[in-house]
Structure 1
């Protein structure tokens, strides 16, 4: 019986989504048809590869920024939990400064304060603008990750610390064996939500000359020079960011429900 119910559930899943797939396929076919008739949609189809390449630049910036921010944020968060005030204070200052600093100001700071090229072993190496933007976004990401980590550790019941100490565990052993495994599950949903926010923040990169999807859309709008095309292309940008970030949001909610009792 268990096998039959499993097979039934597996066959019911595609049927449940068949209507949605047919609607999406119908919309896609309609767009392809009208793109051959409408100059606006035809121009959008021509610029689609360039928009996809620009959006790939945004995704690259977001991935590197959240990676650097997570590594730095975990370090800052660990320092913020230190019993020594001399180590806690710099971490707390870091979190307060970069959590409350405007992202655009940080991006301008990293773009125009850092050099355009770095000299390494007598050779000048270019320091591209997209890397500077990535660093500018990694700073607030690190502050938020540090707070996520601190909050996850603080949410662990104090009885677990006391029970571990009664078993003669050291502070390091308690962290590695008891606290951190639970923190990883509690941190994952807010960390994913932060990544979605960082991804949307990459739209600021075009303001400092990075050739991302926003910059590509501006070039396309000026080149085609049609009001209808300008409206359609910016709606397309909204659809791109929504299509990328909405699944992350849905998965975040699912993980929050799944780990609600951890």
Structure 2
């Protein structure tokens, strides 16, 4: 049923967005028929594999950051809704610190606080910069996931808790069997939106030496050293991030409509 609805949404997209479709078609025709005549496009085609490899690094960082952040965020969120103040307090501090800290500061923090190599037994294991960036982005992700989780639990009507207690369910049983299944549906749209934001935040990785899409674009721009190519390659970087994040945004809007609660 969900797949059928998604297909209908995608099938109706050209009809609802004719201007965007026409623009994309015009750009595609221009790239196919006009680009081969320009030397800057020839240079772009030459650098395309390197750009794709760099963007794959951004995607890897974003996926690991949202995965680590989600696990930590669910744990922190569970502590935040605990009836004990001694567990709520550290969860509240965690959320407030990492939600309000600049992402670039957290990336610099994890990059320079963690060592470049880890000494385990008699071996030295490299601790690459992209892993440190992943941890730096996972911290704000965990704080935001914790708030999403807390908000989802708070949106459950209190009558459900009361009705469950009247049926002799324990708090743990109510939480696992009744509350959590409803929370995950409510969490999915903002969680996907957070992932899109984390993906765009991976552009900061180049500032600490990670060889990602932005770093590759900078190297290509300095190598070719032509103004037209510089403009084109950064437009291509923008297009890659847009092409990856825009479908996530559209699907998030679809889920918000599908799981809308009154």
- Name which of structure 1's ranges 119-128 and 137-146 shifts more when overlaid on structure 2: 119-128
> Which residue is equivalent to 1:95?
95
Measured against aligned partners, the alpha-carbon deviations of 1:142-169 in whole angstroms (never above 9, x if no partner) come to 0000000000000000000000000000
- The whole-number CA distance in structure 1 between the counterparts of 2:177 and 2:51 is 46
Contact 1:35 1:45 in 2 (8 A): no
Superposition RMSD in Å:
2.1
Measured against aligned partners, the alpha-carbon deviations of 1:51-93 in whole angstroms (never above 9, x if no partner) come to 1110000000000000000000000000011111111100000
- The whole-number CA distance in structure 2 between the counterparts of 1:94 and 1:261 is 29
Larger Rg belongs to: 1
- The whole-number CA distance in structure 1 between the counterparts of 2:220 and 2:84 is 55
Q: How many residues matched?
A: 252
- The whole-number CA distance in structure 2 between the counterparts of 1:14 and 1:177 is 37
- The whole-number CA distance in structure 1 between the counterparts of 2:227 and 2:24 is 27
> Which residue is equivalent to 2:41?
41
- The whole-number CA distance in structure 1 between the counterparts of 2:43 and 2:257 is 44
- The whole-number CA distance in structure 2 between the counterparts of 1:46 and 1:238 is 18
- The whole-number CA distance in structure 1 between the counterparts of 2:224 and 2:235 is 16
Aligned-partner SS, 1:93: helix
- Is 1:32 aligned to residue 49 of structure 2? no
> Which residue is equivalent to 2:231?
231
Aligned-partner SS, 2:34: helix
> Which residue is equivalent to 2:163?
163
Aligned-partner SS, 1:118: strand
What TM-score, normalized to structure 1?
Answer: 0.91
> Which residue is equivalent to 1:84?
84
What TM-score, normalized to structure 2?
Answer: 0.91
Judging changes above 3 Å, is the alpha-carbon distance between structure 1 residues 94 and 250 closer, same or farther for their aligned structure 2 residues?
same
- The whole-number CA distance in structure 1 between the counterparts of 2:235 and 2:63 is 24
Kindly state the Cα deviation for residue 28 of structure 1 after the two structures are TM-superposed. 3.1
> Which residue is equivalent to 2:150?
150
> Which residue is equivalent to 2:133?
133
Contact 1:34 1:41 in 2 (8 A): no
Kindly state the Cα deviation for residue 208 of structure 1 after the two structures are TM-superposed. 0.1
Judging changes above 3 Å, is the alpha-carbon distance between structure 1 residues 216 and 155 closer, same or farther for their aligned structure 2 residues?
same
Aligned-partner SS, 2:110: helix
Alignment of 1:55-66 (within 5 A): 55-66=55-66
> Which residue is equivalent to 2:205?
205
Kindly state the Cα deviation for residue 216 of structure 1 after the two structures are TM-superposed. 0.2
Measured against aligned partners, the alpha-carbon deviations of 1:156-184 in whole angstroms (never above 9, x if no partner) come to 00000000000000011001110001000
Segments of 5+ residues of structure 1 without an aligned counterpart are: 1-5
Measured against aligned partners, the alpha-carbon deviations of 1:111-162 in whole angstroms (never above 9, x if no partner) come to 0110000011210000000000000000000000000000000000000000
- The whole-number CA distance in structure 1 between the counterparts of 2:164 and 2:225 is 68
> Which residue is equivalent to 1:194?
194
> Which residue is equivalent to 1:124?
124
- The whole-number CA distance in structure 1 between the counterparts of 2:97 and 2:133 is 18
